[in-house]
Structure formats: structure tokens, C-alpha cells
Chain A
Amino acid sequence: MEEFKPESRPSILKTEAINLYYGSFHALKNVTVGIPQRAITAIIGPSGCGKSSLLRVFNRLNDLIPGARLEGNVLLGDDPIYSRTMSVETLRKRVGMVFQRPNPFPMSIYENIIFGPKHHGIKNKGELENILHRSLSQVALWEEVKDRLKKSAFELSPGEQQRLCIARALAMEPDVVLMDESCSALDPESTMKIEELMLELKEKYSIVIVTHNMEQALRISDMAAFIMIDDSKAGTLVEFAPTKNMFSSPKDTRTLDYITGRYG
């Protein structure tokens, strides 16, 4: 893999010195990152440092937590996402998410995929079937499930379920896909399939992952953001750099300590 040059890529998502609070708890402190377009950015760091919180800043899923409050600007392209000009539904249409565990709805495979498009008012059957075919093909699941689209999504294996969940997010044709430790509940073989899939998807989408797995970050991500809690227990961005550079020559001793497994 050639060296990744972030300068050559415009950022699709940018945070400008954001602070995130849950009530009186300061969860993220002064975080500035730019997520490059059509690349994989990994957010890494020890448990409880605020990785998932940062991910959920990008689709405003933190809004669901009572008492959550964000200071500072977050831009999707040029649009501020924490403003009245963009509805949260539009934002989430453009920024999709895949969760830690495979979590299909208790519905058929078909209904799972068209769930999002239907929310956004697509009713035409032909159009919905195009979406179904496209998104399932994108995750290499079409051939396996095309004859049982009306069957419950729970009949799929966990790995297939997770690919279905990725397809469900892709059905919205988002610009960005957020993945919150999306392989951590899967066996190694399924994990490998999903990693391959992510490398294919980054040709078209900008992907942000949260991972605990250093090898995974190194294998598939172009950029890495290392987050850690500081002395006041707030998550801060320690280092943000091309993954290869960060792992070969970390600039901060805390990064070095973490990636060499001294804590975490």
C-alpha cells in the first residue's frame, strides 16, 4: 500500500475544537479532526476514552442521551451539522452507522434493507427493489439471500447479519459510514470478510471506524486518531496522523505506550 497523504484529500467531516459534555461530565475536550474523503479513518484508544462518543458526534446520536451537550463546530462538507439549517434526519441520511453487534430488526431481510429508504419517503416498488439489489450486492450478500428475502433476518449467521446491517446503512446512499467496533462480536473469518468489504467500500464512501484491535487499525485504516483521557478524565486527541506513520514513528510517548500494549 502506498503512503497515504491526507493533504491531498479534502475532509468530508471536520470537528473544530469541540467539547462534549454528559451533564457535568466532560467527555471530549478540545478535539479537532478532519476525516478525509474516501478513506478509512480509525479512532483508537483505551476503553472509556470517548472513542464511541466522538463517532456519535458525527451523526448526532449523542443527542439521545439526556444531558448531552456539544460545544464547537462540526462540519459535514461545508454544512454545520449542529445547526438549525440541517435537520438531524437529513444528517443521518448522509452519515450512516453500523453498530457493534449485528442488530437486524426482527423483520425480514427485505424489510430491514428498505427500512431507511421508506423513512425518507421512497414508496415506489421498483425503486425499492433496485435499492435492495444494489445494497445487498455491495456487501456481497445478494447471491446468498436472493431466494429468501422474505425470511427473517435472524436466520442469517452473525457475520451475514452484520453485512446485512452494513447494507441497511448503505441503502440510504450515505456519504459517510460510521462503524462502531463492528467486527468485535464476530469470528475471525467473518471479521476478515468485513475488512475486505470495508476496503472495497472506501472507493465510494468515507469510513470512520472505532476499533480496539490495533492490528485491524493497521491493516485497513489510512488515518488514525488516538484518543486518551487526560488528568481531568476528559477524552483528548493525542495524535492524528496517517496510520502507517503513527505506528512506525509515533510522535507522542503516550501513543507509543498504547500501541505497544503498555496499557489499554
Chain B
Amino acid sequence: MMKGSSRVTENIIKTLIWAAALSVLTVLVVIIAYILIRGLPVISWQFLTEIPRNMGRSGGISSTIVGTLMVTLVAIVIATPFGIGTAFYLAEYTRRDSMVTRVIRFSAESLAGIPSIVYGLFGFIFFVKYLGMGWSVLSGGLTLAIMILPTIIRTSEEAILAVPNLYREVSYSLGGTKWQTIVKTVLPSAIRGIANGVILSVGRCVAETAAVVLTAGSALRMTTSLTSPTRTMAVHFYILASEAISFENAYGTAALLIILIFLINVVANTLINRFIAKGR
């Protein structure tokens, strides 16, 4: 009797879990399929290589692709060293329960919980106005850098803590200094997790709208320098759709955005497997 009822419970739970996983998958597939079906026909060589004309009603989106890549690059280049440095400090140089560690970790966690529009507002007031950088690739990149910092810190710290302590002991037992141990032993073992955090952050930068529209601006012409304003793909999509300029081109942009994020993931993972994780 007992056995039979526990088997029934088991089956019900199994079905529920299956249903949960299946509905998540369905939602994901439906969204992506819908956007690709509506967006892919719009994408052409011309769409990729020409700058938007007539507010985006016609022409392509080349300047927004360049803008997206530049803003993202600035953010990653700035946030990665700070993020990884902080993670190593937290994981290797302080005791886990010390006051400093707790304050830094609490700050990072709080930063992670702030809505991106607030980062945008801060970036606008601080970088654009106060520091006089104006709407620019640099302002946008710096704002995004602050936004993704907690993600990079958190994922890097977890990756570092996951490195077996034994590796550190062996390195020390061979006369390694702390720095040598970190660079030669801990970093190679943690690099994969760290890289995953960075890739995740790239995705967030590429997809961000609110924080960028307030700091990088929404200029449609081709960006030529770090100090000129630009419009990212996500912002372009938002403006096209919200101002009802061209739903067709909005879907084209969205489809390309999805493809871009997918490509970045594939390329990054291939690079990691090829160069970093070899022999592991």
C-alpha cells in the first residue's frame, strides 16, 4: 500500500517536473521562432551594410551593429580586469568572514540588484553631464562596465573557489609564492568559469537598452571614435518599435541581435575549448 502510493507520488512529481521543463523550452522556442520568422526575410546584404535612412524606415542598420560592438567592447575591456581582480582579492587574499570581504560582497550584490535604468541615469548624470563626456561610446561603455561588474565578480569568485585546495597546496609545497600559485595554478583551473561570466556579461551588454540610450545616445550616423554618440541595436529596435517607425526593420534588428548573441556564444566557447581548456 505504502509502496504503491509512493510510486504514484513519484510519477506525479516526475510529470510535473517534465511539464515545467517543457513549458520553458516551448516559450523559448516560440519567441525565437516568431522573431526569426518575421525578422529573417528583412535581413539582406544591404540591411547589414547600409546605415539607417529616414529614421530607420529604410536603409540598413550597419551603424548600430558597429555601435553595439564598440560599446560592448569598451564595457568588457574595462570591467573584466576590475572584476577578476576583485574576485581574486575576495577569494584568495582575505578571509571569507572578514569585515572587508563582507562589505565588498554586499556592495557587489547590491549593485547586481539595481535596475538598469538607474545605471543609465547615473551614467547620464556622472559621465555624460558631470565629466562632460557627452553621449558617447565611452559613456555608454563605462556605464555598462559598472552594470556588469557584479556578474563578473560573482562568477569569477565562484570559479576560483571551485579550484580544489589541493592544487594550491601542491604549488606551495613546490616552493611557489602566493602570486605564482595564483597565476600558474588557480587561474588556469578557474579560467573557464571566469570566461563564462565574461561571455554572460557580453550578452547583457549587447541586449541592454535603458542604460545605453541615456549614455551612448541614439545617433544614427556611423560612429568614428570613442567620444562620438552612437545607437546600439537594442536601442534601435526599441525606438523603431515604440515610435512605430518600422516594425519590419525592428524585427530584422531583433533577429540579427539574437543571431549575434548566439554567434558570440559559439565563437567564445570554441575559443575557450581551443586555447584555454586544452589538455584539461
Contacts and interface: CB of A to CB of B under 8 A. Distances in A.
B162 interface: no
A106 B166 contact: no
A152 B168 contact: no
A259 interface: no
Contacts of B176: 89, 116, 119
Contact of B174 (A90, A108, A169): A169
B174 A119 contact: yes
Interface string A69-111: 0000000000000000000011111001101010101111000
B172 A61 contact: yes
B189 interface: yes
Nearest to B166: A103
A106 B174 CA distance: 16
Interface residues of B, number: 20
Do most interface residues of chain B lie in helix, strand or loop, or is the interface mixed? helix
Nearest to B96: A66
B225 interface: no
Contacts of B184: 115, 118-119
Given A106-B189, A107-B279, A61 B169 contact: yes
Contacts of A93: 174-175
B175 A90 contact: yes
B15 interface: no
Contacts of B188: 106-107
B173 interface: yes
Contacts of A90: 175
Contact of B95 (A66, A106, A115, A120): A66
Contacts of B174: 92-93, 96, 115-116, 119, 168-169, 172
A59 interface: yes
Q: In the complex, which of the residues B170, B185, B189 has the most CB atoms of chain A within 10 Å of its own CB atom?
A: B170
A64 interface: yes
Contacts of B167: 103, 105
Given A61-B169, A93-B174, A115-B184, 18 more contacts: A66-B95, A89-B175, A90-B175, A91-B175, A92-B173, A92-B175, A99-B166, A105-B170, A106-B188, A106-B279, A106-B280, A115-B174, A119-B174, A119-B176, A119-B177, A152-B279, A168-B170, A172-B175
Closest 10 CB pairs of A and B: A116-B174, A97-B173, A92-B175, A93-B175, A106-B280, A89-B175, A119-B176, A152-B279, A103-B166, A119-B180
28 contacts: A59-B173, A64-B169, A89-B177, A91-B175, A92-B174, A92-B175, A93-B174, A97-B173, A99-B170, A99-B173, A101-B166, A105-B170, A106-B188, A106-B279, A106-B280, A107-B188, A108-B279, A115-B171, A115-B174, A119-B171, A119-B176, A120-B175, A151-B279, A152-B279, A152-B280, A165-B170, A172-B174, A172-B175
